[in-house]
Amino acid sequence: MSGTATKARDRHQEILDAAARVITERGLAETRIADIAERTGVSPGLILYYFDSKDRLLSEALTYANDQFYLRMSREIRRIDSAREQLRRLIDLSVPGYLPEYGRLDEWALWVEVWVRALRDPEMAKDREALDQRWRNQIAEIIRAGQASGEFTSTVPAEELALRLACLIDGLAIQVVMNDSQVTPERMHRTCMEVAANELGFAL
């Protein structure tokens, strides 16, 4: 019984994982069930045994992948004391391709797919808002800590500062993930740090 349940949960996750990778490579629109089956190493029929429909699978895969990303980042940041260093680390991790050790799994490419889908699918829209909320909260927490400790001198509400920073990161990350020749990972990083210093009130 429990053995079966475990096995089933593994398959479930295995498929979500494969799906996320295929979507990253081929794009949501070009992702076929057959691709996901092949990547998982099973027959196409099995995919539909675990998921009611392609659509549900794709939606789940998108939120799953972004969830993973958030959790990884959250874990890393919790280990750091200084709010300033937490912020730096958050920016490091947000710049696509900035840290060589995190290969080009391009979470941001998945985000863009989430946006497109959320535009029409209410279910996805709800998930997206929750994900974004959590992300902005994470940033706001850091800022609040910095304000409390005196590391950041701005008296603007942390929640507002978090919105500014989160959206700047989004906008820049888009350019970077698109390979814009003017916006390299290094430049995005520098820009984020400078704006953060200006807005939060700390010296670089």
Asked if 52 and 139 count as a contact pair (C-beta separation under 8 A), the reply is no
Of the ranges 32-40, 95-103, 121-129, 143-151, which one interacts with DNA (CB under 7 A)? 32-40
Q: Which residues bind a second copy (CB under 8 A)?
A: 26-30, 109, 112-113, 115-116, 118-120, 125, 128-129, 132-133, 136, 160, 163-164, 166-172, 174-175, 177-183, 191, 195, 198-199
Residue 34 partner contact from DNA, a second copy, none using kind-dependent CB cut-offs of 5 to 8 Å: DNA
Name the binder of 125 from a second copy, DNA, none, CB < 5-8 A by kind.
a second copy
Rounded Cα gap, residues 49 and 51, in angstroms: 6
Size of the site for DNA (CB under 7 A): 21
Minimum CB distance to DNA smaller for 51 or for 69: 51
Under the criterion CB under 7 A, does residue 8 sit at the interface with DNA? yes
Q: Which residue has the tokens 């992948």?
A: 65
Residue 3: other Cβ atoms inside 10 A: 7
Site for DNA contains 13 (CB under 7 A): no
Q: How far apart are CA 39 and CA 17, in angstroms?
A: 9
Distances (CA, A) of 91 to 37, 168, 196: 35, 11, 10
Which residues lie near DNA (CB under 7 A)? 1, 3-5, 7-8, 11, 31-34, 42-46, 48-49, 53-55
